[in-house]
Structure 1
Amino acid sequence: MSDVRAGLAAAGAHLAALGLSPGSSGNLSVRDGGLLYITPTGADLSRLDPDGLSVLDRDGTHLEGPRPSKEFPLHTALYRRDAATRAVVHLHSRHAAALSCLPPWSGRSAVPPLTPYFVMRVGQTPLLPYAPPGDPGQAKELERLPFPLRAALLQNHGPVVSGVSVRAAVDAAVEIEEVSALLLALGDRPARLLTEEEAGELARRYGSCWGE
Structure 2
Amino acid sequence: MSHINTHSEENRLREEISEIGRAFRQLGMAPGTSGNISAKCEGGWLMTPTNASLGALDPAEISKLDWEGNLISGKPPTKESFLHRAFYETREEAGGVIHLHSTHASAVSCLAGLDANSCLPPITPYFVMRVGRLPLLPYFRPGDPGMGEAVREYAPDYSAVLLANHGPVVAGKTLEAARNAIEELEETARLFLMLQGHSINTLSEAQLDDLREQFGARW
Distance 1:202-1:34 versus aligned 2 partners, 3 A rule: farther
Q: Whole-Å Cα distance in 2 between the matches of residues 56 and 91 of structure 1?
A: 20
Which of 159, 183, 187 is 1:150 aligned to? 159
Distance 1:209-1:33 versus aligned 2 partners, 3 A rule: farther
Partner of 1:175: 184
Identity of aligned residues (%): 42
Distance 1:191-1:132 versus aligned 2 partners, 3 A rule: same
When the two structures are superposed, what TM-score results if normalisation uses the length of structure 2?
0.90
Which of 89, 92, 98 is 2:98 aligned to? 89
Which of 37, 40, 44 is 2:53 aligned to? 44
Which secondary structure state, in structure 2, belongs to the residue aligned with residue 131 of structure 1? coil
Which secondary structure state, in structure 2, belongs to the residue aligned with residue 179 of structure 1? helix
Q: Which runs of no fewer than 5 residues in structure 1 stay unpaired?
A: none
Which of 42, 60, 67 is 2:76 aligned to? 67
Q: Whole-Å Cα distance in 1 between the matches of residues 175 and 28 of structure 2?
A: 18
Q: Whole-Å Cα distance in 2 between the matches of residues 106 and 197 of structure 1?
A: 21
Which of 67, 72, 80 is 1:58 aligned to? 67
Q: Which runs of no fewer than 5 residues in structure 2 stay unpaired?
A: 1-7
Q: Whole-Å Cα distance in 2 between the matches of residues 54 and 147 of structure 1?
A: 25
Partner of 2:5: none
Partner of 1:12: 21
Moved over 3 A (4+): none
Q: Whole-Å Cα distance in 1 between the matches of residues 189 and 147 of structure 2?
A: 22
Q: Deviations over 1:33-74 (max 9, x none)?
A: 331000001111111111100111233222222111111000
Distance 1:79-1:207 versus aligned 2 partners, 3 A rule: farther
AA aligned opposite 2:41: D
Distance 1:201-1:33 versus aligned 2 partners, 3 A rule: farther
Partner of 2:32: 23
Which secondary structure state, in structure 1, belongs to the residue aligned with residue 39 of structure 2? strand
Residues 90 and 155, structure 2, Cα contact 8 Å, conserved in 1: no
Partner of 2:200: 191
AA aligned opposite 2:97: V
More off after superposition, 3-12 vs 99-108 = 99-108
State which structure, 1 or 2, has the greater radius of gyration over its C-alpha atoms. Answer: 2
What pairs up with 1:70-149 in 2 under 5 angstroms? 70-103=79-112, 105-145=114-154, 148-149=157-158
